[in-house]
Structure 1
Amino acid sequence: MTRGVGFPICVQCGTTSNPCRCKVVGPTLGFLAFVVAGVVEWPVGAVVFLFKRMKGRRIMAHPATVVYPRVTHAIPI
């Protein structure tokens, strides 16, 4: 029997942004946006890192420090 790859679901409980105190859509879309941004920005950041270390680190950290939080906080459910 074979199994397909499932869709990643992220759940964040204990938030105050909605009455249910749990978020599913925002963190899941945030994770997907993080992966897409990482696929693009990490190789670019690695090349820049060879010449300008701090700039390369900022580029590689961008998905985790900017993309994921903005998408997660933008969707309240």
Structure 2
Amino acid sequence: MAFVPICVQCGTRSNPCRCKVVGPTLGFVAFVVAGVVEWPLGAAVYLFRRRKGRRIMGHPASVVYPRVNRAIPI
């Protein structure tokens, strides 16, 4: 049995239904993929340049998820 993440965001004004499913779900998947790549890299950079490492590790949450979520209105 496979686990399929489904995220629902209600109360938005980006579509007539005021509910989004596809955008948040794809945003979550993109967040996980970016996190798998960027968190270990950010941890390695953090050892030498703390500010840069923290920014790399925060990139999936601060940039990737919001952009994907906003790009898909449904």
Q: TM-score, normalised by structure 1?
A: 0.95
What TM-score, normalized to structure 2? 0.99
Q: Which residue of 1 aligns with 2:18?
A: 21
- State the structure with more CA Rg: 1
SS of the equivalent of 1:17 reads coil
Match of 1:59 in 2: 56
Query: Residues of 2 paired with 1:68 and 1:40: CA distance?
Result: 14
* Percent identity for Structure 1 against Structure 2: 80
- Runs of 4+ displaced beyond 3 Å: none
Q: Are 1:50 and 2:56 an aligned pair?
A: no
Q: Which runs of 5+ in 1 are unaligned?
A: none
Root mean square deviation, CA, Å: 0.4
